[in-house]
Structure 1
């Protein structure tokens, strides 16, 4: 296995381990919600002016799939749609008070997982962080370009907020 494969496999392995470790606690704390729904709630909670297009771009899903998911979340009373006074064409989403509760539970779980993994990150130097972030940004730009070649426009994405 060459170094590129080692890095790729290493990232995949890390992400799979994180997902496995986090899965049971997430499922237990957020019963009744699919992972995609929770991430949609998270996105709407973090981004004022969320709409179908922005959600679709962020999750690499079709607008139709996002519309279906947001309709389910509206029906569950988690999000609500609204229009801006100056733009009656576009529909935006915001969290309801029930949605805020789910959002906060999810955020607390992330903090808990961060705390669990703190021991590793405390050992990483600023230079190592800079190097890792530089690599991730470079690789992300490369993948963005590859996605664009497939005919998907992702120019409005902000990966490192």
Structure 2
């Protein structure tokens, strides 16, 4: 196996382990909510005047998929829609009290994950981080170019 393959396998294994560790706590603390719902709640909690278009762009999903997800969250009592007096055409979302409680739990968990991993990152030098960041930027640019060659927009339902 060459170094390119070793790097990709190492990154993939690291990502899977991180996701597995985080998911154990997330599943326990946010039981009854799927990752799409939690990420949507987090986005709305962090971004004023969230709407279907902004959510679709942020999550790289279709507007139809976001509409379906937002209706589900409204039905669960986690978000509510509103319109601005000056713009009756656009529909925006905000968290309900129940949605804010879920958002707070989610944010607390992310702080716990960061605290869990901080001792590792304290050992990493600035130069090592710069190398990793440079690699990630260059590889992402390469992948963006490959996606562009396909002539399709990257949507999660294309994966």
Give the structure-1-normalised TM-score. 0.85
User: Aligned partners of 1:134 and 1:103: how far apart in 2?
Assistant: 32
1:106 deviates by: 0.6
Establish whether residue 96 from structure 1 lines up as the match of residue 91 from structure 2.
Answer: no
What corresponds to 1:130 in structure 2? 130
- Higher Cα Rg, which structure: 2
Q: What count of residue pairs does the alignment treat as equivalent?
A: 154
Q: What TM-score do the two structures reach when normalised by structure 2?
A: 0.86
Q: 1:22 to 1:84 in 2, by over 3 A?
A: same
Please list every run of 5 or more consecutive structure 2 residues that lacks an aligned counterpart in the other structure.
none
What CA deviation, in whole Å up to 9, does each residue of 1:24-48 have, x standing for no partner? 2111100110011101111111122
How many angstroms does 1:55 deviate by?
1.5
1: CA distance, partners of 2:86 / 2:132: 42
What's the RMSD between the two structures over aligned residues? 1.9
In the superposition, relative to structure 1, how do residues 150 and 93 fare at CA in structure 2: closer, same or farther (>3 Å)? farther
Is 1:79 the counterpart of 2:79? The answer is yes
Would the alpha carbon gap of residues 4 and 92 (structure 1) be closer, same or farther in structure 2, given more than 3 Å must change?
Answer: farther
SS of equivalent to 1:124: coil
Moved over 4 A (4+): none
- Whether 2:146 is the aligned partner of 1:141: answer no
Partner deviation per Cα, 1:33-81 (whole Å, 9 max, x = no partner): 0011101111111122222122222222221111111101011111111
Closer/same/farther in 2, CA of residues 150 and 8 from structure 1, 3 Å limit: farther
Q: Secondary structure at the residue paired with 2:61?
A: coil
Cα shift at 1:146: 3.6
